[in-house]
Amino acid sequence: MPELLDENQQIESTTIGVYRTSATVKGGRRFSFGALVVVGDRNGKVGFGYAKGKEVPQAVEKAQKYGQRQLYVIPRCGTTIHHEVEGTFGASRVRLIPAAPGTGVVAGTVVRAVLELAGVKDCLTKCYGSTNPENVLKAAMAAIEQLQTPAKIAELRGLKLDRTMIEDKIEKGKAYAPAAIDTEKKVRGPVNTLGSERRGRRGGNMSRRDRQATKESGDAPPAAGAAPAAPTK
């Protein structure tokens, strides 16, 4: 659950979006603006707010106040999070994955703003379903609410943890390193003897021009990988 904190703390904010709406009245149209803002102290606390006003600065200021009233506390493991977690809101799903130091925040605009203002510097993310900014933001907050520390889990299970081992893993950053990515290039298969490298079409490795030339000459098409015929003198 969100934690109530003092509004006078040093809180930074990022405006996710400003939305204009209008109401048709007898004298014409009456415009108003809505602002979606993320606030945080870059040290484990983050929140968000949505507010409307007759002017953009007024809407942004109101949204900042709403966000500062309730800030979520994120348990961090060094520069990343403790474990993988997934949050859902409406048709949006957001998955947060721990990353090794130096990875950075790999995320879109909304989730990046949430993690950076929360003080998370290394994290992998993935968004599924709807990309509506407000739904994605609430899904990210739902994921953040599910984060727990090893000490909390051990307390719930009635176990004891070796704090020295946990601190060593946090300092070295080896416990949450992502799987290695194979960057080796795939070796291509044998090409046809007529010089065409296009694959996947009917007729094997032969292009349409080569098949037409073979058909006119009456020669059988060479097998894939066969050695070229010796030139005739």
**What is the sign of the dihedral through the CA atoms of 102, 108, 111 and 116?**
positive
CATH topology of domain 3-73: Double Stranded RNA Binding Domain (3.30.160)
Q: Is the pLDDT of residue 32 over 70?
A: yes
- As a whole number, the mean pLDDT across the chain is 77
Q: What is the mean pLDDT of residues 101-106?
A: 89
- Reported pTM: 0.63
pLDDT tens readout for residues 132-176: 999 999 999 999 988 888 888 888 888 877 666 566 655 555 444
The domain spans of the chain are: 3-73, 77-172
Instruction: Identify the CATH number of the domain defined by range 77-172.
Output: 3.30.230.10
Classified as helix, coil or strand, 7 is: coil
By the 10 Å C-beta count (0-12 exposed, 13-18 middle, 19+ buried), 228 is classed as exposed
